[in-house]
Homo-oligomer: A and B are copies of this chain.
Amino acid sequence: MFYFTIDILGTIAFAISGVLVAMDKKLDVFGVFIIAFVTAVGGGTLRDILIGNTPVGWLRESVYVFTIVGTVIFSIVFRNKLKYFRKSLFLFDTIGIGLYTVIGVQKGLAVGLAPVMCVALGTMTASFGGVLRDILCNEIPVIFRKEIYATACILGGFGYFLFNELPIVQEYAYVGAILLVISIRLLAVRFKIALPSVYRNQ
């Protein structure tokens, strides 16, 4: 129930981030809904497709569709008030990527993949909804250009395997990895830490 609440809050935060980008592009109502939807479920969908876990998750669990429909309606109605929720949204988003990373890692373990592949799946689950959102909106994905975001997921994913080596209950490794993702992201934003860009002399 606790994890389910986080999952839904994360879905809402992701959907709203999609709504905001779609509104900047002046899309119509259908376009806004699709971008919100892809942002919210895109990462998990890509993961499910890559491991062959079909029909993909959201097709089997109606709760996501209804959550996203509700979120989009709310966001459109209160579109000029969304800025007041910015801090909450950032928090939901950050807790969300922590949970999604660990969910992705566990889905990888369930099909017997190597740890490094599980970490890749976890990172993808948490961060590729935003990548698909940006592609659909004709932008270079923002997580390829700025901010520690996927990096937090990668480190949290490896943290999960580390914590599992410790003599602690598995539940703690689970929660520990989520907290690790959250901490790294919060610290990076607080101290404006970003990955370096790479370019070369032409």
Chain A residues within 8 Å of B, Cβ to Cβ: 22-32, 34-35, 45, 49-52, 54-56, 59-60, 62, 65, 76, 79-80, 82, 108, 111, 113-114, 116-117, 120-121, 131, 135-141, 143-146, 150-151, 194-201
Please name 9 pairs of A and B residues whose Cβ atoms are closer than 8 Å in the assembled complex, sorted by A.
A27-B140, A28-B145, A28-B197, A30-B151, A52-B52, A62-B117, A82-B200, A131-B136, A138-B139
The residue of chain B having its C-beta at the shortest distance from the C-beta of A202 within the complex is: B24
A145 is contacted by which of B31, B55, B117, B198 (Cβ under 8 Å)?
B31
A50 is contacted by which of B56, B136, B146, B194 (Cβ under 8 Å)?
B56
Number of copies: 3
The answer to whether A54 and B52 have CB atoms under 8 Å apart is yes
The answer to whether A28 and B62 have CB atoms under 8 Å apart is no
The answer to whether A59 and B135 have CB atoms under 8 Å apart is no
Interfacial chain B residues near A59, Cβ < 8 Å: 50-51, 108, 113, 117, 120-121
Determine how close the nearest CB of chain B comes to the CB of A107; give it in whole angstroms: 10
